[in-house]
Structure 1
Amino acid sequence: MPETLLQTKLYVPPQRPNVVSRPRLVERLNQGLRSGHKLTLISAAAGFGKTTLLSEWVNQSESAVAWISLDESDNDPSRFLAYLVSAIRTIEPSIGKGVLAALQSPQPPATEAFLTTVINQISETPDDPLEKARPTQSSRPGNNMVLVLDDYHLITAQPIHDALTFLLDHLPGNMHLVIATRSDPPLPLARLRGRGLLTELRESDLRFSQDEAAQFINKVIGLEVSADDLSALNARTEGWIAGLQMAAVSLQSRGHADDSTDTISDFVAAFTGSNRFILDYLVEEVLQSQPENIQTFLLHTAVLDRLTAPLCDGVLGHSDETVQENVETSIATAQDTLEHLERANLFIIPLDDERRWYRYHHLFADLLRNQLNKKHPGLRRTLHRRASQWFEQEGLIPEAIQHAIVIEDYDRVAGLLESIVSSLLNEGRPATLMNLMARLPNETIAARPWLGVHAAWGAFLTWQLASIEPYLQAVEARLSETPAVPLPEPFADVNRIRGRMDSLRAFMAQGQGNLEGATALSRKALNYLDEADLQLRCVLEMNLGGICVIRGDLVAARQHLEKSITAGEKAKNFYATLSSISQLADLEGIQGRLHQAVKTYRRAIQLGTDWGGGKALPGTSLPHVGLARALYEMNDLDGTARHLERGIHLGKLCGEQENVLQGYLTLARLRLAQGKADAAAEALEQAVALAPQDSTLPFLSAGHLASWQARFSLAQGDLAAASRWADSQESRLNIPDFPDFRLERPSFTLVRVRIAQGRAEEAMRLLDQLLPAAEAEGRVGRVIEIQMLRALALHAGGDVAQAMIPLEQALSLAEPEGYVRIFVDEGLPMAQLLYEAARRDITPEQTSRLLAVFPALEPAPTSPKRPGELVEPLTERELEVLSLIAEGLSNQEVSQRLFISLATVKWHTSNIYGKLGVKNRTQAIAQARALGILPTS
């Protein structure tokens, strides 16, 4: 069940009729907008009218305003960001499409990535989000969109402060941020102030002037107080509006409005004394002047952050007949009381137009709670327990948990949490689960195995790896108690608990490379589960499918993945189902079935969109990136770009680091194919930056990605860099068997480097080791690549006729499925091979189509050039430079060897490329060898 956001927190408070208008402060706020300031900070102690001022300003403003009333529960970064986007969507619904669901994923997106998406969407909004509703707003001041964060002092989480700092640093020009707070937040205020981008209103600005105090007391409240008394009262309160209001209410309740001036003066004189408990005195005066039933209502409902009539009835015990007999009240309903409090100006604020939800003024609520603890110290627990019970009955379990936490009723917290713990994980909210777990004593978790095993899963999903085994050991100890102690109902099914323990250990074993252990544990876990436990069956079948793919048993892998998909769809386990469908498409790609893989990826994308109600779920990142890879292989570069953009974007939102990494690798290949070397290098750097140095998945490690860097170096003509990598890796890679075919990628790169170095025999030996397993396991895609590389190696070794044999095999396998880039990305050497294949009438239609894709290549010559034949011969110096390049020297090393400048080397290199008709070092070396200018080895 996705976390429900309270819409009343997004309610812009209406301008109340009986308040003192403050045009001078409203103008200050408008001036900040007109000046293009980024931030307005209203910082003052409680009771200085911050919210009331903002309400007046907002309700007069012609800007589009979004509002969030913050409370302590908003210190969860994901919850805060969800409210932030939801508030903005109240004025511009097009913003935030698709991003809110990402916050519910197992790995929520990085905050900066999330905010970057929102910022970009805000920047792209029309000048006036509400222009259709307000056709004539040409005179409105400043920014088009205003976001108000009220009561920001309740936010203490540093990640949220960091998020707001990032937002301020990149705030679009059409947006303005307003913060109302009791204390200055840890934001870059000095920097904004120094740059003239900050509007500030502080206590000195907010204090009531003498005239404002007079208007408040005499006109708003309706008292007749002399100028001298008003001056004294305002001086002693230092313009503090709440103090004036409480004094006025106290005076009003004592009937002083009709008394003599002396009587009022006596009160003011007493009030202006130096007693530091004046505030307590005023509250007591206000409370004591109210009927007893109103006092009871105020004190008992002070434990609530927000009030609605049914909740108040529940807390007061009105819904409990046995309790109601002991409660003295003449109030007909709680709703009547709430409306009475509003009419009486007893520090209550409506949160919606229907007057269903209210809150007390924060200061007043604090004081009421102090009074409750003072007068009824034992009642607090009872009231919070009733509130918790009411929220539980309404199905609002998170709120019920919060009230139980306040009174440290950990057994109740644990019991409530057990009822939603599976939903939290299935919906991808492990961080919320772990935040709640952190509030519980270890012994409470240890006593409840259902809670403990889910805590272990939460730790696994949030990478709190050191906590996993302690949780599991505690569960095991509880299950093994002798004599057996009954487990808390209804979560006492030992088999379900053990199934979840073994399934988690299976995932951990796979991550550590222990495939035998992972398989055994997965099957053991399945044996514990009944047929109805589809949520976990979906995940376990997916795990088994992944293990089979790694082992090369593709038939069994497909069976497991199809079982996972069936179970996941029935259980509505959306993320796991999309993952399994994407893995099935990956498998089809491995088998060389490109067309079928494209269909399967598209199926997953459509399902993810349908399940999201027309908006793609973040989990569709997986099939988007997979489809991009397939389309790239088929040379649909526009389609590749579209799906990569979508897939990387969604992957960032839901924190799918692996998929984003794979997306950037494909993007780097795309940019190279488009001739954008700098963009390709940038994409590759982004991929490498995502790879953890100590990854338990070797194919994601930084070391493994170095092979991709070497391949890109080779493609850009930097043979020296590629050679350094190859020399450092050969001893580790040159082995006969590969337990994980995903680790073959570095071997393919090594082959390419050795071919470019003229060491074709070494390349052939490694390829001959790789081919049997690929053929036996039906990995047709790899067979095509291996045979293509064998042809290149034989050609580089001078055996052109023999090279045609593996080339023809590769072309024959590739043609039905539309493979293109696997050949074209090899550049000029492959083009020369294809020219030769065309001359020999080998798959003529296929070779013609492929040759047409190669960039800037001349048509196939009618007769081969003689060795050394060039339109313009190379100079002696150019031959020297070319020879050193072939040795693997960098431009800098060539300049040092020949004692010439780096600029001169680059000039000679450019001339060489032009005369040879190539674009990079690798092509130059290959062309020079083909023309007999350089030796073949």
Structure 2
Amino acid sequence: MKNILHTRLIRPKSKNMIHRNKNIQDKLLNIKENKLAVVKGGAAVGKSTLISNYIEDKANYMWLSLDENSDDLTYFWTYVLHGLKDNIEDLNFYIDMINPLVKREDIFELISSLINELINKDTLFIVLDDFHYIEDQFLLETIEYFVANSSENVHFILISRYDVKLYLGNILMKGGIVTVGSADFNLSLIETEEFIKNNTYKIIDEAIIKEIYSITEGWVGAIKLLLTVLGNNKTIKNIPRGNKLFIDYMNNEIIGSLSQDEIDFLVKTSPLNYVNPDIYKDIDNKDGFKIIKNLIEKNMLIITIDEEKKIYRYHNILRQHLVELFDKYEESVKNDIIDRLTASLIKENNYDEVIRIYINYNRYNSALKILEENAHNIVSTKVLNEFPLEYYNGSADLTLISLFFNYLNLDYERCNTIIKSLNYSKENNLGNAIKLFGIILNNTYVEESCFNFPKEIDKDLNVLTKTVYYILASWALGFANEYTKSFEMMELIKESNKELNNRYVDLIYKYNKVSVLESIGKLNECLKYYEELNEQINNKNYRFCFDIMRTVGLPGIYIKKLMDKEAEQLLTEAQKTLEEFKERAAFKPLEVNINYNLAEVKYIQGNIDECEKLLNNIDKENKDNYSYIQMLALKIRLLFFENRIKVEEYDEFIKMFKEKYKKSVYPDILRLTYGMVLYKKEKYKESFDEFSNIVFACRKSGIGYLLVYSLIWKVIVLDKIKLENSRECINSLKEAIYYSRDEDILFPYYKTRVYLKEIIQKFKTQLLEDADNKVFVKKLCDLMGIRDKNEVLSPREIEVLQALIDGLSNKEIGEKLFISISTVKTHIINIYSKLGVKNRVEAVNEGRKIII
């Protein structure tokens, strides 16, 4: 992590030891016996000091100081992971997961893995200081999940000014809660005296100590301020008693007691969250270390974060006043200081801090430049939404990265707001990608024009922008069945990731490739890739991030091979995982995908009622949703031969297809379903044309699975219309088998077996002319209940048939087989019936075909 930002993970040291009252000591002792401790109190009451002193002698702890930038999913968890690096096996992989391409749903899988890694470790204390900065509801849900489900050896301490916004009921059920409240922090008179003696080198009269106690009522922050103001004064007069007035007065008194160099140092460094005095050389060419040493000696409200690296921060009470003083500078002076500050931070690669400062002072062009150059290096993605909308039109980096991050974080409203603000009249080689985002968000039909992606994009774009673009484009082109182009985009993902070196991107690339390979019918290669991916994930205990991809994606391959048991087992796992996604945006699409595959499994297993029940569970309130017509089309394909499709459902599909999808030139499963519906309505010529067009397009694009399915239906239509020349029918069937046999594609044959059985039986001899077809044709015959004639005849009947072929009479057959002539005649009658022949000559001719 960046040098200064790393300081958030350092426990603030304090030399101000206070012997607290028994009540607070008892609560501290109970922390180890409970799951969670909530330490609440106003500014400067000593919350952090209390816990810092408590945690100091603990062997295993993590401290994270939060601020206004921490209310960001990626930002927060990145720091937590870094803070726990000594307790986890592979920090780099976790960081790849969380940054820069984390999916919002995946965070719970990531946390689950983190929880598992922390089990049975040494007692661990996780301290989150200034927790009141965390307000994002989804981020709070992730933290609540982490706290509630962590093992007994992990204890959480949340330090906050206000009530924490977690639902504590679940946590209370799984552990206990210790609460340290504001009243616990107010010092007694004796504690105040002790605190004052430990915080000043001056001897202060007991009367003044009593006066300080009377004014402050034991508030540590106020005591510190008074000690700073006192200086050489021996009395305290005319101090405002109201809290805000008191703080304002104290700040003015503090600043007024400092030298100009000290004031300049404090005010000019106030835009920084953390201060390394070395930076002052770049700001004012002065020795910042000497100045801050003097300030600390004057008991200023300066907290030492890292004594070795000389990193400090100003107490919030002080910093707030310093920022107000900074804002009073003339604009030219402010901008000059900001330029010097950010230039120094850039040298240290602290891009997050640079962007934050620029945005805080409305320097959006400067912030945009840093973002465009270093988007792949920033930690916080929250800043992306702080740019005014007009800046998106001028920056492809800002636009595409913002859309992608907001999409992954389910902030669809922000995505749509950005898209609507864009000016499409300008030429922009990412325009189609941006349009596609809008279509994805609203789950509507994707027009062909959206798939005209340029393969190469502006070389000056940030590498993260390019990677995001290639991921989206490869997915979209695969969706449009432009598989060659999709593979080309995948190679660009692979190439750009050499610079990013992000294993999360690598896994996305591989899963995307598996998806496309399945679509083109390369099922065996898919299974090989899945084995490699699962091994890669299991070896590193990364299964949590991609388990849902496996349990939802892999069944599709098994189903195409009629491996229903394997598919059902994975889908059962997927359903269990789905429970974790309830109340989240990902739940519905995952549920649809699982039910889609499960309906096919039930169909294969002959459980038609259960299959129909799943297919009827369609969201009929959202018929414009693309998933609605997909499920309706599946219902037609599966229940076509079961006479369970209503006439109005056929009509509804035709209407929807013609209105939205018929104009598409891309071959897809909806167009195949449309051809089936035309066949059902006895429009055979139109049906044949649809299937022929799909076959042509699939051949051109190399789409194996849909090609097989369409060829089978083309054969069915050809057989139905009884063309005198059966050559086209045989050739189409041979072609379907050619693309099926090596990959073991069986499902399309199984679904059409009602019509296909007679056709395969009719052309079986021709199909077996190619020796390579023998094994697969045997599978098809078994699938459809077609038995070889030599399997139809009993062993004794085969012996009789052989005797007929040898030209023996009935008497000779009986003598040879030691059976009566009557029994011989019975066998011959059965043979005629089974072979479908009328006389001895036909029986011999057929017998020669099946007995070698």
- Normalising by structure 1, we get a TM-score of 0.64
Correspondence list, 1:30-49, <5 A: 30-34=29-33, 36-37=34-35, 39-49=36-46
AA of the residue aligned to 1:125: E
- The 2-side partners of 1:516 and 1:49 are apart by 62
Evaluate the alpha carbon distance shift between residue 532 and residue 805 of structure 1 in structure 2; reply closer, same or farther with a 3 A threshold.
Answer: closer
1:729-748 aligned within 5 A: 729-730=653-654, 739-740=663-664, 744-746=668-670
The answer as to whether partners of 2:671 and 2:690 remain within 8 angstroms in 1 is no
Indicate which of 129, 144, 160 corresponds to 1:150.
129
The CA deviation at 1:594 is: 3.8
Letter in 2 for 1:359: R
Q: CA deviation at 1:68?
A: 1.7
2:71 to 65, 72, 75: 75
Q: 2:500 and 2:240 mapped to 1: Cα distance?
A: 66
Cα deviation code 1:736-769 (max 9, x no counterpart): 99554777424656788999xxx69679974663
Question: Which amino acid letter does the alignment assign opposite residue 42 of structure 2?
Answer: A
- Residue 784 (structure 1) aligned with residue 708 (structure 2): yes
- 1:815-862 per-position Cα deviation (integer Å, ceiling 9, x unaligned): 12232455567799989999999999965533555788999x999995
Secondary structure of the equivalent of 1:668?
helix
Of 611, 621, 627 in structure 2, the residue corresponding to residue 701 of structure 1 is: 627
Q: In the alignment, is the contact (CA less than 8 A) between 1:578 and 1:622 conserved in 2?
A: no
The alpha-carbon deviation at position 93 of structure 1 amounts to: 1.5
Mapping 1:470-489, distance limit 5 Å: 470-472=421-423, 476=426
* Distance in structure 2 (CA, Å) of the matches to 1:170 and 1:724: 50
Distance 1:41 1:467 in 2: 39
1:311 to 268, 276, 279: 279
Quote the Cα distance in structure 2 between the aligned partners of 1:706 and 1:784.
22
Q: 1:831–1:854: 8 Å Cα contact kept in structure 2?
A: yes
CA contact (8 A) 2:9 2:65 kept: yes
Deviations 1:690-736 (A, max 9, x none): 998756xxxx5333233336667789x8x647877445324555999
Match of 1:515 in 2: 448
Q: CA deviation at 1:414?
A: 0.4
Q: Is the 8 A contact 2:301 2:315 kept in 1?
A: yes
Which residue of structure 1 aligns with residue 365 of structure 2? 414
Question: Which residue of the partner structure matches residue 598 of structure 2?
Answer: 668
Matched residue type, 2:705: G
Q: Counterparts of 1:398 and 1:633 in 2: how far apart (Å)?
A: 48
Residue 472 of structure 1 aligns with an amino acid whose one-letter code is N
Matched, 1:398 2:352: yes
- Are 1:387 and 2:345 an aligned pair? no
Distance 1:211 1:642, change over 3 A: farther
Q: 2:218 aligns with which of 202, 218, 239?
A: 239
Shift, 1:308, TM fit: 0.6
Secondary structure at 1:472 match in 2: coil
1:538-557 map, 5 Å: 557=485
Question: For 2:116, which of 113, 124, 149 is the aligned residue?
Answer: 124
Shift in Å at residue 145 of structure 1?
Answer: 4.3
Q: Which amino acid aligns with 1:845?
A: V
Distance 1:167 1:701 in 2: 33
- Cα distance, 1:84 vs. partner? 3.6
Q: Structure 2: which 5+ residue stretches go unaligned?
A: 407-411, 795-852
Alpha-carbon distance between aligned partners in 2 of 1:207 and 1:306, rounded to the nearest angstrom: 28
Partner of 2:266: 298
SS of structure 1 residue aligned to 2:352: helix
Partner of 1:846: 776
Q: How does 1:115-514 map to 2 (within 5 A)?
A: 115-125=107-117, 127-130=119-122, 144-161=123-140, 163-164=142-143, 175-188=154-167, 198-219=177-198, 221=200, 229-251=208-230, 253-254=231-232, 263=234, 267=235, 277-284=245-252, 286-287=254-255, 293-315=261-283, 317-318=284-285, 333-342=287-296, 345-352=299-306, 354-370=308-324, 382-408=336-362, 410=363, 413-421=364-372, 424=375, 432=382, 434-438=384-388, 442=390, 445=391, 451-457=394-400, 461=404, 462=406, 464-465=415-416, 467-468=418-419, 470-472=421-423, 476=426, 498-500=428-430, 513-514=446-447
Q: 1:729 to 1:375 in 2, by over 3 A?
A: closer
- Bigger Rg over Cα: 2
Residues of 2 paired with 1:272 and 1:570: CA distance? 62
User: How many Å apart are 1:69 and its aligned residue?
Assistant: 0.6
Counterpart code for 2:422: Y
- 1:181 Cα shift? 1.6
The separation in 1 between residues aligned to 2:637 and 2:761, in whole angstroms, is 24
In structure 2, distance between residues paired with 1:286 and 1:565: 56
Cα distance in 2, alignment partners of residues 28 and 736 from structure 1: 66
Q: Are 1:59 and 2:44 counterparts? A: no
Q: Output the aligned Cα RMSD.
A: 6.2
C-alpha distance after superposition, 1:274-325 (max 9, x if no partner): 898544454455555555544443344333221112223333x11xxxxx6x
Q: 1:566 to 1:249 in 2, by over 3 A?
A: closer
- Tell me the CA shift for residue 49 of structure 1: 0.5
Q: Identify the match of residue 85 of structure 2 among 81, 90, 115.
A: 90
Name the % identity. 14
Per-residue CA deviation, residues 116-148 of structure 1 (Å, 9 max, x unaligned), is 214422442354323xxxxxxxxxxxxx54432
| Secondary structure, aligned partner of 2:126 | strand
Gaps of 5+ in 1: 131-143, 257-262, 319-323, 325-332, 477-496, 866-937
Q: Equivalents in 2 of 1:624, 1:193: separation in Å?
A: 33
Q: CA separation in 1, counterparts of 2:673 and 2:431?
A: 40
1:303 counterpart SS class: coil
Provide the C-alpha distance between the structure 2 equivalents of 1:725 and 1:686, rounded to a whole number of angstroms: 11
- The residue type equivalent to 1:205 in the other structure is D
Superposed CA deviations along residues 342-388 of structure 1, whole A, max 9, x for unmatched, are 56543222223524311122223224445666899996555444323
In structure 1, C-alpha distance between the alignment counterparts of 2:656 and 2:779, rounded to whole Å? 38
Q: What SS class does the counterpart of residue 128 from structure 2 fall into?
A: strand
Aligned mates of 1:218, 1:226 — CA distance in 2: 11
* Cα shift at 1:54: 1.2
1:241, distance to aligned residue in structure 2 (A): 0.8
* 1:552–1:741 contact (8 Å) kept in structure 2: no
The alpha-carbon distance between structure 1 residues 788 and 274, as it changes in their structure 2 partners (threshold 3 A), is: closer
Distance change (3 Å), C-alpha of 1:839 and 1:146: farther
The one-letter code matched in structure 2 to 1:468 is I
